[in-house]
Amino acid sequence: METRIFGRTGHASTVAIFGGAALGSLNQEKSDAVMELIISHGINHIDVAPGYGDAELRIGPWMPRVRDQFFLGCKTTERTREGAAAELRRSLERLQTDRFDLHQLHGITSIEDLDKVTSTGGALEALIEAREEGLTDYIGITGHGVDAPKVFLEALRRFDFDTVLFPINFAQLTNPEYRNNAEELIKQCRAKNVGTMVIKSITKSPWGDRKPTYHTWYEPYADPETIQQCVNFVLSHDVTGICTTSDSNLLRIVLESCENFKPISEEYRESLIEEAVGIEPLFT
């Protein structure tokens, strides 16, 4: 599988970054099978969070054996220094490790969220202190929502974050404002050597009133051909990689699509966006 340098971290991350949310509702036996699957595909980067159900507890037993094989990123949804510091240490304990490669402010969806974490006594202070203590090497920011790229452009003006994580998919880029801000964010990240992770790459639309048929909070594309298009579309942007789906049953298809990735032209990307016009984006 192709690897790309994850910004200033210098880590050559596989373009498929394992999203630990896939383990959130699985028992240890099924989680072990998923871990064996990602190892068999050569994945070398894990992204997890305390909010992903039991994911930290499921990955934890593996860390004493394979910690050095993975770039390990975790997150906090706490907004205060005290809360974030406590959550970070709980995550270290649950994951059975003494350090993170990356720790991230999670779910920053608005300027109000950004104000909270970057203010005096905010969560960012805890991550800076953790970096000084050697508990994490790098600091990032993540978020969903229609304003995520715009918020992260402001975040990069306020603090020299090492990484960002935000959504890209066909339908989301039919929103002109979202697309303009996303493209500018990618440009700024390249200029500042900031690592870029993409989520929601195989998203089609919200579930709405329908009962979900996959372990995702959005309706995903599920056929291998379209998932391959989704992967080709996202990885043809100047980003580091894709955080894999939270549905463990779709994971193998996503991994194989990342292995089979082939760049597509700008013209073809435009046609895929045009075909998605009329599909309701996940974030509006």
The tens place of each residue's pLDDT in the chain, 284 residues long, gives 999 999 999 999 999 999 999 999 999 999 999 999 999 999 999 999 999 999 999 999 999 999 999 999 999 999 999 999 999 999 999 999 999 999 999 999 999 999 999 999 999 999 999 999 999 999 999 999 999 999 999 999 999 999 999 999 999 999 999 999 999 999 999 999 999 999 999 999 999 999 999 999 999 999 999 999 999 999 999 999 999 999 999 999 999 999 999 999 999 999 999 999 999 999 99
pLDDT of residue 2: 98
pLDDT of residue 67: 97
What amino acid occupies position 140?
Answer: G
Q: Please tell me what DSSP assigns to residue 160.
A: -
Distance from C-alpha of 143 to C-alpha of 110, rounded to nearest angstrom:
9
pLDDT of residue 190: 98
Structure tokens at 146: 């229609």
pLDDT of residue 205: 96
Q: Are 252 and 43 in contact (CB under 8 A)?
A: no
Q: Please tell me what DSSP assigns to residue 155.
A: H
What amino acid occupies position 264?
Answer: I
Residue 141: enclosing H or E segment and its boundaries?
strand 136-142
User: Distance between the two ends of the chain, CA-based, in angstroms?
Assistant: 34
- Buried b / exposed e across 202-226, counting CB within 10 Å, b at 16+? bbbbbeeeeeeebbbebbbbbeeeb
CA 173 to chain centre: 17
Give Dmax (Cα) for the chain: 50
- Residue 160 bridge partners (DSSP): none
What amino acid occupies position 237?
Answer: H
Distance from C-alpha of 111 to C-alpha of 175, rounded to nearest angstrom:
20
Q: Which residue has the tokens 């050095």?
A: 68
